Chain A
Amino acid sequence: MLAVQLAELLEGDAPGAAEALDLVAGFDDALVHGFARLGEERALALTALAGALAGTPLGPRAGEAAGKLAAGSVAEEHLTVLAGGRAALLGAVHDDLLARLDTALGRTRETWDAAPAPAPVPDNLLSGCRSWLHELAITGWRGVDHDLVSSAAQVIEALLAEPALRRPAVLLDGLAAELRASCPVATMDRLPARRWADLWTRALLLARPGGLPAASGRSVSGRLLILGADVHEHGTAVQIQVHGILEPARGGPALLVRAGVAAAKVDTIVGPAVWRLLGAFPVLLGALAERRSLEINDMLLLHGGDLVWHDGRARPGEPADPFATARVLLAGALAPAAPPLDRHPVRIAEPVLVEGYKTVTDHGITLDLGGGTLAVDVDRLPACGPLTPELVAASTACVGLVRWDAGRWLLQPLAVQATVKRKPVEAHNGDWALGPTDPKAVKAEARAGDAVAVLRERAGRLLRR
């Protein structure tokens, strides 16, 4: 990302985005207090949200739903329609933000033309999920107590047991854990209103009949050059999302792709130990740790740009420096379209290379790039890798993801080149994929012991009785 590109990105406000987000905030406020106690002001906010959708296919149904909800009839179908309206508004904001980013970066993006097809999943499991979400909406976050949170336990357990429902399962489990930790919510002095409404909305959309899209794409082969690893984690799940550039064996433009591998975990497995849960993907982890390219053969590439990782169809290639990959190939790579359901600003995670900046460490870390400033999202430096705020502050080049949250653009570092004690150092999120390489981290891990092994032993002894 060049100084002129950043300047273009930061220039001016997106027309309509603030208004759209205000309408979303109105819906979020209804969820805070509960749809059973809407009151006049919040009912008006729902009517306004429906009004904004008037010119869309959702319009008539949204208008009807807002009316019914305002009149006190909190039916599941009305909630679902308005949740869809909220998602559509955020989808529009997402599209606008991504288009601005693409324009600034000069990035070419494919258009989405795949026909949506629902995944074949058992609806009886999802109906339990919908009931709980319905109950939450009626009660509102302020009314959530231990009993309401606990009532989701069986539903979540059943969802987790069905691999095809991993998406809603992981989402609901994360939401339930946050609500449990916040109980009784009525005593909290502030609420993560946008966040919880986001999670609730996505869960409801995934849980409606036919809501979960089937995986569809095409087979690809070629050389995969890794840019970096983004780590997602909550108490009971971890996902490593690898960003890379695929040079198709058949020729054609290089493609910006991602590959996500995920595992279930428990909250006491933290830091570098999470890599041990992904032992089923040794080739991918090896490539991260050794900074190698990968030769992949006949792997499914989804229309959204995600490889469905099949470790047996990948073999390690030559050493490849992610900074070199970013310098040489990133500018010309073709970016994938976002799947319709996933269109939300939170999913914007565009790889960039930033260099020639000055770091400013005052209220966090900011990069000054030719006068334009980009805040570094230091909260997103994962404990399972070697990146620290100090390294980022000392850095001179960074491969990272451009993100957007709460009205501003942010840079999430995936790798940095820095100068520490007058020596050049380089650190990547995936460096410890096969175990920590830093003596301090090795010691810390030895001190804590092997959490995964201890729990597996306990599970072996106590679980199958």
Chain B
Amino acid sequence: MNAERAAWERSSVTRVVSPVQPRKLAKVPFVELADGRLQGVVSSGSDIERVYVSSIGAGTHGFSCSTNNNRPCGGLHGSPCKHLRALVDEAVLQYGVHRVARYLRVDIDEDTASGAALVSRLNGSLAPTPAAMVFSRFLRHLAYLELPPSAEPIAELHWFPATGAVR
């Protein structure tokens, strides 16, 4: 065990972040575990121009949901709205239920591990968070796809081998 640990610590290509699982992005184009929150962007079901910015704090479980123009979500009545439920469901697909539960610090049963079970265990209340910050992270995320491709070698990427965990 110690030899294995030493090899892990002395490996240049130790894997730190597990690749995420593929999922449909149409409803919830952006999900991340960052800044101490599960946060993301949910496309509106009725208006193609509108998106909701939803988040749940790690530990506190304080949640919020509003449009990108900072209008509070109409479906939020003291409990998580459908956008927040969709956010959790997609996060579970993307990262796996255990990683999400660990990040949010939720205890879940092995047998009932699902997004719905996770939402039912949240014990926070409405806690407004700056939607603008999350939204700008989403825009930055999208901006990656606008960058031009490169044909010069990037030697540094030898530290980042593609892995095949997703099969």
Which positions in A face B, CB cutoff 8 Å? 21, 25, 146, 150, 153, 157, 160-161, 163, 166-168, 170-171, 174, 177-178, 180-182, 190-195, 198-199, 202, 206, 215, 231-239, 241, 258-268, 270-271, 273, 277-278, 280-281, 302, 304, 306, 308-310, 339, 341-342, 344-347, 349, 377, 379-384, 387-388, 405-407, 412, 444, 447-449, 451-452, 454-456, 458-459, 461-463
Contact = CB atoms under 8 A, between A and B. Distances in A.
Contact of B12 (A194, A206, A278): A194
A198 B159 contact: yes
B5 A190 contact: yes
Nearest to B25: A454
Contact of B139 (A310, A412, A444, A463): A463
A382 B94 contact: no
Contact of B25 (A25, A157, A268, A382): A268
A268 B94 contact: yes
Given A146-B36, A383-B166, A232 B161 contact: yes
Contacts of B14: 192, 194-195
A320 B62 CA distance: 59
Contacts, number: 239
Contact of B152 (A260, A277, A344, A448): A260
B24 A449 contact: yes
A263 B22 contact: no
30 contacts: A146-B35, A178-B16, A192-B14, A195-B11, A231-B161, A236-B144, A237-B154, A237-B157, A262-B151, A266-B145, A268-B25, A270-B19, A270-B22, A277-B145, A277-B149, A306-B152, A310-B151, A349-B158, A379-B161, A380-B163, A381-B164, A383-B167, A406-B11, A454-B26, A454-B29, A455-B145, A458-B43, A459-B142, A462-B68, A463-B139
A265 B154 contact: no
Nearest to B17: A181
A455 B142 contact: yes
Given A157-B140, A346-B158, A459-B143, A405 B25 contact: no
A308 B151 CA distance: 6
Secondary structure dominating the interface of B: loop
A99 B145 CA distance: 40
Interface in B118-157: 138-157
B49 interface: yes
Given A232-B162, A380-B161, A380-B162, A192 B151 contact: no
How big is chain B's contact interface, by range?
Answer: 35 or more
B26 to A, nearest CB: 5
A180 B155 contact: no
A182 B16 contact: yes
